[in-house]
Amino acid sequence: MARLPLLRLLSLAVRQLLRDARAGELRVLFFALLVAVAASTAIGYFGARLNGAMLLRATEFLGADLVLDGSSPAREEQIKVGTDLQLQHARVVEFASVIATDNGIQLSSIKAADAAYPLRGELKSAPQPYAEEQPGGGPSPGEAWAEARLLTALNLKVGDEIDIGSKPVRITRVLTYEPDRAGNLYSLTPRVLINLDDLAATGIVQPGSRVTYRELWRGEAPALEAYRQVIKPGLEANQRLLDGRDGNQQIGGALGKAERYLNMASLVAVLLSGVAVALSATRFANRRFDASALLRCLGLSRRETLWLFTLQLTVLGLLASLAGAVLGWLAQLGLFALLHDLLPADVPPGGLIPAIAGMGTGLVALAGFALPPLAALGRVPPLRVLRRDMLPIPASTWTVYGAALLALGLIMWRMSLDLVLTFALLGGGVIAALMLGGILLLGLQSLRRLLARASLPWRLGLGQLLRHPLAAAGQALAFGLILLSMALIALLRGELLDTWQNQLPKDAPNYFALNILPADKDAFGAHLMTLQAQAAPLYPVIPGRLISINGEPVQDIVSKDSSGDKATQRDLSLTWAANLPADNELTAGTWWTQQPAGDVPGVSVEAKVAESLKLKLGDHLMFTVAGVNREAQVTSLRSINWDNFQPNFFMIFQPGTLQDLPATYLTSFYLAPGHDKEVIELSRSFPAVTILPIDALLEQLRSILAQVTIAVEYVLLFVLAAGMAVLFSGLQSTLDERIRQGALLRALGAERQLLVKARRIEFGLLGATSGLLAALGAELVSLVLYRFAFDLPWHPHPWLLLLPVLGAVMVGGAGVFGTRRALNASPLTVLREG
C-alpha cells in the first residue's frame, strides 16, 4: 500500500507538471507527442473522409449507396426497415422485352424507375440522337427514353410510339447515360427507360417471369450500416446487397490501394512519433534522476516516486494528445478547404473515430516508448543525492525493446489488420536493425584507431561519437529510421502513381462496339482501320448460362454475395479464342495449342469466378446456349486485368465448339476526342451495331484517381513535415552534453570556428551514417511491402543513395543549429547550469 493516496499523488503530479511546463522542461516531449498525434489524426481524417468521398463517387456507379437486388420483389418489411431508418428510397424493375414495330423486332432491356431514381449521379439524355446531352430528369408516365441504337435498329425517331408489352409509350428523349450502367458494360440489348407507374399496364411482369427488382437506398453511413445489419439475415436466396465497392471493379481496386497507402502513411507517422517520443522520454527521465533521488530522500517510496512520474507523463500524454487531435482536425479542415474545387461538395465528415484513433496511437506510443526509461526513475538509488555518479541499474534490454516492439506491433496491426504484414515488417525491422547496428558498432570502433592522428576538429567531433559508440549507434539507427520512413513514403507514392497512370493509358479504349453481325464483321473492322482507331480484336459473343458443375445444379453450389453468384444469376457472354487475350494470365492449367478439340471441348475460366464456384481443372461444366446444352471441361484458369477497359470474358471456349451457334461480335476501340461525326457515320453505316461511348466512365475514374493522387501528395507532405519536426526534437534530446562540452571548450579558449567545424564533422558523420542505414533499410522494407501489401513489381532504387548526403546535410544543419547556444551564450552561464 502506498502511503500517499492516488488522488494526492495525482494532484502533486499535476502541480509538478505545471511547474515543469512553466520552466520549459516539457517542450520537447510535448511537441513530439503533439506532432505525432496531429499527423496521424490529420492523415486519419483525411483518409477516412477522402475514402468517403471516393466511395460516394463510386456509389454513383450504383445509382445509390446501397442496393437490394433480387429476382423477386422485396418484402414489405424489407422496405419498411429502410424507411424507418429515414433512408431515401427509389425502386427500379428491370426485365427484357421484345419491341415490335413495322420495321422489325428488337429484344430490349426495359428499366422501369420511379421519380426518385437515381439517388446518386444523374441520368443524361438528348432531344435527338447524337445531339448534345443534358443531365437530370426522367420519363414521366406514358413516356419512354430509349437508347439511340434502338431507334437505329427499328428506324424510329423521337416522338414515335412503341408498345412495351400491352402499354403504348411515346419516345420523348434519347437516353445517353445511366449512372448504374457503368458496372454492366456488356449488356447487349438496347435500353428503354419508362416510368414505374406504367409497369403494371405493360402486363409483362407476371409471377415466374425473369425480372430484376432493385431497391435503391441513400443515407448516412450509420443508418446504411444499420439497414445492412437488419436486412442481411433475412435475405431471400435470390436477393443480395450491393454497395459502392461492388459497383465497379476498377474503382474497387484503386480504392483498395489508396486505402492501404494512407494506412501505411499514418503508420509511418506513428513510427516517426515513436522515435521522437522514445528520444524525448529518455531525456525526460535522465533529467529527473536527481529529482527522483531527492524525492526518495524526502521519504517517497519507490512506488510512489514511480507513480508520480507516470501520472505526470499520463497527464502530459492526454493533454498533448487532445491538443494534437484538435490540431490534426484543423489541419485536415484546412486541407479540404484548399482542395474544395477538386472534391465533391458533400464530403462526409470523418466522425470522431480518426481523432480517437490518433489519440490512442499517441498514448500507446507514449506507453511503449516512454515507460521503459521512466521505469529507470524508480530504480534511482537515493544515495545519488550524496554521490552524483550513481545511476539507476539499467532495465533489462528485453523489457525496454519488448515494450516498444509490442506497442509498435499493436499499432501496426490495428492499422493494417494484417498479421503477416505486421510480423514481416517488425521481424524484418528488428533483424535489419540488429545487423546494421552491429556493423555500425564495428565500424565506429575501427575508426577509433585513425583518431589519434586526426586534426583537432576531427578528434573533437569524431571523439564525441566514439566515446559512447553504443549511444552513437543508437542515434544513427533512430535518425536512420526517420529518414527511412520518409524515403519509403516518397518511394511508394511515386510507384503507386505510376501504376495508376499505367492502368489508364492515354489511349484506353473509349468506345465499345457490340452486336456486330457476322456478315458485318469484316467490313466493320475495315471501317475502323480507315478511322485509324486503335481497336481490340473482334470477339464473338454468345449469351449463355452456366447450369451445372459436374452434374450438380449451380444454385446448390454457389455461395451468396460472391462474384460466382453474379456469374450464374445472369447470362454470361461466352466467347471462343485460339490465343490467350492480352492482359490475361494463366494461373493454372495450359492454353490449348492443338486443333481440333477432344470429345469434350476445353473452357478457360476467370480465376476469381472459378474460386467462388469452387471450380478445379478437369471439372465438367454444362451451359445452356440458345436453348441447346453444351458441355465443356475446365482446362485452364486465367487472371484478368480488369483495369484495361478491353473486352474481358469470364469463360473462353476452345475454338470450334460454339461456332455452329448464332453469335455477334464485340470489340473496343480508341478514337481521339473530336471525332463525333465519324462515330455517328460509323453508327449509320452499321445500324445494327451498338456503339457505346465510355468516356464518361473513364472521366469519372480519372477524376477519382486524380483525387487519390492529390491525397497521396498531401499525405506525403504531412509525413515529411512530421519527419523533419521529429528529427529536430530528436536531436534536441542529445544536445545537453554537447552544449556543455562546447561551453567548456570555449572557456578553455577554443575559437567558435573550431567548435562549428567539430560540430559539422560530428553531426554530418552521424547524418551520413543514418542516411546509409536508411537507404539499405528502405530497399529491404520496400521489397517486403511491394511483395506482400501492394502487389507491385520491385526493382532497385539507385536514387536512395542520395540519402546519406541528405542525412549529412539535414542532421548536420540541425545539429549545428541546435548547439548554437554553446557558441553564443556565455560559457559561464552554461557551465553554472550543469
Residues found near another protein in the complex (CB under 8 A): 3-4, 8, 12, 15-16, 19-20, 22-23, 25, 290-291, 294-303, 381-383, 385-388, 832-833
Q: Is the dihedral of CA 233, 234, 235, 236 positive or negative?
A: positive
Quick one: angle between helices 249-286 and 353-378, nearest 10? 30
In DSSP terms, which residues pair with 134 in a beta bridge? Answer: 125
Name which of 380 and 775 has its Cβ closer to another protein: 380
Task: Measure the CA–CA gap between 476 and 769, rounded to whole angstroms.
Answer: 6
Category of 93 on φ-ψ map: left (φ > 0), alpha (ψ -120 to 50) or beta? beta
CB 301 to another protein: min, Å: 4
Find cell 469434350 and name the residue.
600
Name which of 283 and 630 has its Cβ closer to another protein: 283
Nearest to 554 by CA among 640, 626, 612: 612
CB 827 to another protein: min, Å: 15
Task: Measure the CA–CA gap between 139 and 158, rounded to whole angstroms.
Answer: 13
Cell matching residue 762: 560530428
Name which of 393 and 526 has its Cβ closer to another protein: 393
Name which of 211 and 293 has its Cβ closer to another protein: 293
Name which of 10 and 780 has its Cβ closer to another protein: 10
Quick one: angle between helices 221-231 and 76-84, nearest 10? 150
Task: Measure the CA–CA gap between 506 and 512, rounded to whole angstroms.
Answer: 16
CB 313 to another protein: min, Å: 15
Name which of 122 and 736 has its Cβ closer to another protein: 736
Task: Measure the CA–CA gap between 479 and 769, rounded to whole angstroms.
Answer: 9
CB 739 to another protein: min, Å: 15
CB 371 to another protein: min, Å: 20
CB 471 to another protein: min, Å: 24
Name which of 15 and 795 has its Cβ closer to another protein: 15
CB 18 to another protein: min, Å: 10
Q: How far is CA 793 from the centre of its chain?
A: 18
CB 748 to another protein: min, Å: 22
CB 24 to another protein: min, Å: 8
Name which of 19 and 80 has its Cβ closer to another protein: 19
Name which of 16 and 733 has its Cβ closer to another protein: 16
Helix (H, G, I), strand (E, B) or coil at 540: strand
Name which of 16 and 646 has its Cβ closer to another protein: 16
Task: Measure the CA–CA gap between 810 and 788, rounded to whole angstroms.
Answer: 32
- DSSP class of residue 789? I
Task: Measure the CA–CA gap between 716 and 564, rounded to whole angstroms.
Answer: 39
Q: Is the dihedral of CA 779, 780, 785, 791 positive or negative?
A: positive
Name which of 56 and 385 has its Cβ closer to another protein: 385
Task: Measure the CA–CA gap between 565 and 238, rounded to whole angstroms.
Answer: 10
Question: Phi and psi for 168 in degrees, rounded to 5?
Answer: -80, 135
Cell matching residue 764: 554530418
CB 25 to another protein: min, Å: 5
Nearest to 500 by CA among 706, 711, 784: 706
Task: Measure the CA–CA gap between 650 and 603, rounded to whole angstroms.
Answer: 10
CB 383 to another protein: min, Å: 5
